[in-house]
Structure 1
Amino acid sequence: MKAVGFKSSLPIVEENSFIDFETDKPVPVQHQLLVKIRAISVNPVDFKIRQSAAKDSVLEHPKIIGWDAVGTVEAIGENVSLFKVGDEVYYAGDLTKQGSNAEYQVIDERIVGKKPTTLSDEASAVIPLTALTAWEILFDRMRLSLEKDKGKSILIIGGAGGVGSIAIQLAKKLLGLTVIATASRPESIAWCKEMGADVVVNHQDLVNEVRNEGFQFVDFILDFVDTNFYWDSMAELIKPQGHIASITGSTVPLLLNKLKTKSVSFSWELMYTRSMFQTEDMIQQHHILNQVADLLDEGVLVGTLKETLHGLSADVLKKAHTQLESGKTIGKLAIKF
């Protein structure tokens, strides 16, 4: 089968930052599906792993990355019970396995959902990673609910990105929260409002911007940009007994004592935790993706696709990563095979 990968972690402008190659089609076993891929999307995790996975070495075999895909089930493992051959599916994959930048991929059925019926392949392909991340951070990590949290305020740092675009919708439409999103350019401000944000503020002067909109404190904060950079601002803005959650990691230890006097909770979210550790509730991602598909088909949620590239090739992946690394992507970028 055809695939795109890399043997060394090179700047995206280098000729071999991605290479085209042929490899064997994988065979599904146990709970695995063999999926014929029709479309994928790119996410920040893609270029971060490309930049680090083979930084000081040359891999013997090319590494295939990519963690969002749509396709058709072509074969199934002996223990598969959730899907059958011919089913259309979408998923975000597993960091510990080969990725979706290929014609075929094997994937555990427990982290796969049914493709939304009303969305195109490319519009469906951009959903899984961002929807799972946003859903888990709101419902599993922060444990928010419409019953107890309706009307409370949430600040979403990085509202125009892929995860932010879905998080705004979930927070507004499923939880009934007052949503404050950050954006600075006219086009990203407009996008946040289109997704449902009540207020959009400039992240460059976060504390003053939020307070100028009438919020002395906010009940919840989601960081989708840079935990370290915004830590002091988040500690200042969070309401006593509030909750902060982040997906971005930290290069230095966080000063958690800044949250102590307010008795503030803090959570990390990594969408790959369930698949990496084969947690007992791993199948929850199957259920989340099915719920999200239903919400998209019902029109409760709207798609976040902004641009589509075409073709499975090193050149196309280079173009996609170049755009993503610019840090100015609004919504999501898909690649249709």
Structure 2
Amino acid sequence: MKAVGFTTSLPIEAADSFIDFETSIPIPAEHDLLVKIKAVSVNPIDFKIRQNSAKDKVLDAPKIIGWDAVGVVEAVGNEVTLFKKGDEVYYAGDINKPGSNAAYQLIDERIAGNKPARLSDAEAAAMPLTTLTAWEVMFDRMHINESDKDKSILIIGGAGGVGSIAIQIAKKVAGLKVIATASRPETVEWCKQQGADIVVNHKDLVSEVQKAGFKYVDFILDFVNTNTYWDAMAELIKPQGHIASITGSAEPVALNKLKGKSVTFSWELMFTRSTFQTGDMTEQHNILNKAAALFDNGTLKTTLNKTLHGLNADNLKAAHRLQESGKAIGKTVIVF
């Protein structure tokens, strides 16, 4: 089968930062679905893995990455119960297994969902990783529920892939008052299109939020850089509020700054359930199906913003180049 990968970590402009190659079609076993892929999207995790997973070495075989896909089930493992051959699925995948930048992929049925019928392949491929991340961070980590309706949430990085769908989920599913950050006219407009009630400039976050009429906010989501905004988040969070981040930190996080307000802090990594084969791993299947129903009834909308055509190294380079620029708005998808 056709695939795109790399054997060493190179700058995206290097000729071999991605290479086209042929490899065998994998065989499903146990809970595996063999999916013929129709479209994929690119996320920041993709370029981070490309930049760091083969530093100062050359792999024996090309590494296939990619964590978002839409496709059709071609075959199933002997323990599969949730899908059958011919089903259309969408999923974000498992960071420890070969990715979606290939003609076929094995995916565990427990982390795949039924593709939203209303969305095109490209529109659906844009959504799994970011939707799972936003859903898990709000409902599984922060435990936002009906009693929180009309409370305030600050979303740092509103125009990015996760931020875009998080705005929608926070506003349309959780019923929160949404404050999102953006600094360019086009990103401000994008955040408003996703449903943000207020858009503030992240370059002077505390004063911007306070000028918007909020001394404190009930919830804060960081989708940019934990330590860059830590002091601002600590100042803006309401006593007994909740902060969550998906970005990690190369430096220790000063949790003591939250003690006086008795603030809760949570990390979110969408790959936790698949990596550790948690007992509730099937919850990702359930979340994707709940989200599919919301896409199909019009509550949520795709965050697709750019489409490329063809599975090849050149298109993967273009998509990674855009992600690395930090200027990407919404999601970039490659249709096979």
Question: What is the TM-score when the length of structure 2 is the normalising length?
Answer: 1.00
Which residue of structure 2 lines up, in the alignment, with residue 278 of structure 1?
277
Q: CA deviation at 1:285?
A: 0.2
Query: Residue 135 of structure 1: SS of its match in structure 2?
Result: helix
Q: Deviations over 1:237-280 (max 9, x none)?
A: 00000000000000010010000000000000000000000000
Q: Give the superposition deviation at 1:174.
A: 1.1
Counterpart AA for 1:36: K
After TM superposition, the structure 1 = structure 2 runs for residues 111-130 of structure 1, keeping only pairs within 5 Å, are 111-130=111-130
Deviation at 1:87, TM superposition (A): 0.3
Give secondary structure in 2 for the equivalent of 1:228: coil
Whether 2:50 is the aligned partner of 1:50: answer yes
Aligned partners of 1:82 and 1:132: how far apart in 2? 19
Shift, 1:56, TM fit: 1.8
| Fraction of identical pairs, as percent | 70
Q: Does 1:84 align with 2:84?
A: yes
d(CA) in 2 for partners of 1:301, 1:86: 26
How big is the shift at 1:231?
A: 0.3
- What is the alpha-carbon distance in structure 2 between the residues aligned to residue 319 and residue 198 of structure 1? 33
Q: Which residue of 2 aligns with 1:185?
A: 184
Distance 2:202 2:127 in 1: 25
| CA-to-aligned-CA distance 1:68-117 (integer Å, 9 cap, x gap) | 00000000000000000000000000000000000000000000000000
In 2, Cα distance between equivalents of 1:162 and 1:319:
17
SS in 2 for 1:317: helix
| Deviation digits for residues 269-313 of structure 1 (CA, Å, limit 9, x no counterpart) | 000000000000000000000000000000000110001001000
How do 1:270-309 residues align onto structure 2 when only pairs under 5 Å count?
Answer: 270-309=269-308
- Structure 1: runs of 5 or more not aligned: none
1:330 maps onto 2:310 in alignment: no
Deviations 1:138-175 (A, max 9, x none): 000000012x1011100000000110111111111111
Partner of 1:23: 23
Aligned AA (2:76): I
SS in 1 for 2:228: helix
Aligned residues: 336
Equivalent residue, structure 2, for 1:6? 6
2: CA distance between counterparts of 1:163 and 1:259?
A: 25
Match of 1:108 in 2: 108
3-state DSSP of counterpart to 1:200: strand
Output aligned runs, 1:85-164, within 5 Å: 85-146=85-146, 148-164=147-163
1:176 Cα deviation after fit: 1.0
Match of 2:220 in 1: 221
Partner of 1:38: 38
Distance 1:260 1:223 in 2: 19
Task: Give the Cα–Cα distance (whole angstroms) in 1 for the partners of residues 242 and 66 of structure 2.
Answer: 31
Q: CA RMSD in A?
A: 0.4
Alignment partner of 2:89: what SS? strand
Moved over 4 A (4+): none
Q: Which residue of 2 aligns with 1:240?
A: 239
Q: TM-score, normalised by structure 1?
A: 0.99
Q: Which amino acid is the alignment partner of residue 20 of structure 1?
A: D
Whole-angstrom distance in 2 between the partners of 1:62 and 1:175: 42
Secondary structure, counterpart of 2:274 in structure 1? helix
Aligned to 2:315: 316
Measure, in 2, the Cα distance between the counterparts of 1:280 and 1:299: 32
